[in-house]
Amino acid sequence: MKKILILEDDLKLNDGIKLALENNDYNFYQCSRIKEARKVISRESIDLILLDINLPDGLGLSFLKEIRNKSNIPIIIISANNMESDIIIGLEQGADDYITKPFSLMVLRARVEVQLRKTKTSRKYFSEEFLFDFDKMVFVVRGNKVGLSKTEQRLLFLLISNKKITLERSFLIDKIWSGESEYIEEHALTVLVKRLRDKLEKDSTKPFYIKTVYGIGYSWEEDL
């Protein structure tokens, strides 16, 4: 289920957007203040943000920059500011799309679906600590590039694609060493996990991100 954050202080419009987009595939978080939105983003893995520019407790563009400093969440600006210069500034600040008020709810629906389709095929992970681009094989840990082997990349992708879900050891071995798993000793996974922790964790002896679920396997914890 995709998680959509609506940050709009016009409560009727906020509810109208939710109603227009509502279906079984979307879960909505409705906010009218930036401080509320910050709390939601800190605890939820949001897939799309619909962002008004003029808000009671600050400017939406400033909040956009704040988000872009640590995340690549798709953001669609919804604003009454309809000058060409306003649109250009919004897109240059990092918005993925810009819709001016008043707007057609059908058009909004279509543009939301476009952005969510992009996230389906995304093989990138952004957080305060990490930037992982699996297609370009670029891995940045706290501002420093690190090199990952093919097996380390496979393990990392499986873990972050299933955040907070415990993946069994047998499943990981089969996926990482596909076609060769019957020849791989189970200890190989333990060694691989240790190598990855050494590169990602601040203290690999006290792992925060790659958690061991004893007797079962491993899980990836969000960077909150």
Q: What is the pLDDT of residues 34-91, one digit of tens each?
A: 999 998 987 787 889 999 999 999 999 999 988 887 777 899 999 988 888 889 999 9
Q: Angle at Cα 32 formed by Cα 48 and Cα 224, nearest 5°?
A: 50
For residue 122, the model assigns a pLDDT of 59
pTM of the complete model: 0.57
CB atoms within 10 A of CB 154: 18
Q: Which of the four pLDDT bands, split at 50, 70 and 90, describes residue 223?
A: low
pLDDT at 209 > cutoff 90: yes
CB atoms within 10 A of CB 52: 22
CATH fold for the domain made of 125-220: Arc Repressor Mutant, subunit A (1.10.10)
Judge contact between 112 and 105, C-beta under 8 A: no
Please report, for the chain, the start and end positions of each structural domain, with discontinuous segments joined by +.
Answer: 2-122, 125-220
Q: What average pLDDT does the structure give for the chain?
A: 88
Per cent of the chain over pLDDT 70 is 95
Judge contact between 123 and 167, C-beta under 8 A: no
Per cent of the chain over pLDDT 90 is 55
pLDDT at 121 > cutoff 60: no
Class of domain 2-122: alpha beta
For residue 183, the model assigns a pLDDT of 66
pLDDT at 224 > cutoff 50: no
